[in-house]
């Protein structure tokens, strides 16, 4: 290998490593950390899920990005993830969707053709079924976002 090629390759290696480490070329929109608490009537909602669905700007030709989701913890807190663990949501406006927790005592439905299955009456629905966020749309900004979600009937 010539002296020039050897010298050029030493300069190229750090540049390639920097390019790969920076995440360039991933094609994913920028995300920002999002966490908060889900409440109803001032009390934490003990379970369920949230989905933040990016809203495209008027006239935008590209998708604004992938929706973010979170499992609501027993104390009502949540942390969103989109492309990786706790990476937040795509920066911009989002519609918020709430999925209620299963009702207490809910179990998977038995197979129809299982003669030994318990075919008891289904449990009553979750007390949070049918609830929606008071604010249907929120904005995620660069940096750390604390977005508390209050539910309404």
pLDDT digits (tens, 9 = 90+) for 4-15: 444 443 333 333
DSSP assignment letter at 13 = H
Percentage of the chain modeled with pLDDT above 90 = 60
Residue 114 CA: distances (Å) to CA of 14, 111, 117, 123? 62, 5, 5, 20
Provide the domain limits for residue 50.
27-105+124-152
**DSSP SS3 for 3:** helix
Residue 117 lies inside a defined structural domain of this protein: no
Residue 112 lies inside a defined structural domain of this protein: no
Do the strands 49-54 and 92-99 form a parallel or antiparallel pair, or are they unpaired? Answer: antiparallel
Residue 12 lies inside a defined structural domain of this protein: no
Q: Of 18, 7, 99, which Cα lies nearest the Cα of 52? A: 99
pLDDT at 89 over 90: yes
Residue 118 lies inside a defined structural domain of this protein: no
pLDDT at 64 over 80: yes
Domain total of the chain: 1
For the whole model, what pTM was predicted?
0.73
Residue 20 lies inside a defined structural domain of this protein: no
Residue 116 lies inside a defined structural domain of this protein: no
The CATH number that applies at residue 89 is 2.60.40.10
- Region 44-56 average pLDDT: 97
Rg of the chain in Å (alpha carbons): 23
Asked if 27 and 63 touch (Cβ cutoff 8 Å), the reply is no
């Amino acid at each position: 290998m010539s002296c020039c090629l050897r010298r050029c390759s030493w300069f190229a290696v750090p540049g390639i490593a920097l390019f790969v480490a920076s995440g360039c070329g991933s094609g994913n929109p920028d995300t920002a950390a999002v966490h908060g608490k889900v409440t109803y009537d001032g009390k934490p909602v003990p379970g369920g899920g949230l989905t933040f669905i990016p809203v495209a700007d008027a006239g935008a030709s590209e998708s604004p990005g992938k929706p973010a989701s979170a499992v609501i913890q027993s104390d009502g807190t949540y942390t969103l993830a989109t492309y990786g663990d706790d990476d937040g949501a795509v920066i911009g406006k989002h519609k918020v969707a709430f999925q209620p927790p299963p009702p207490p005592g809910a179990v998977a439905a038995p197979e129809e053709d299982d003669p030994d299955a318990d075919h008891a009456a289904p449990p009553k629905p979750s007390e949070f079924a049918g609830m929606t966020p008071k604010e249907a749309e929120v904005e995620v900004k660069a940096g750390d976002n604390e977005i508390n979600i209050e539910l309404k009937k």
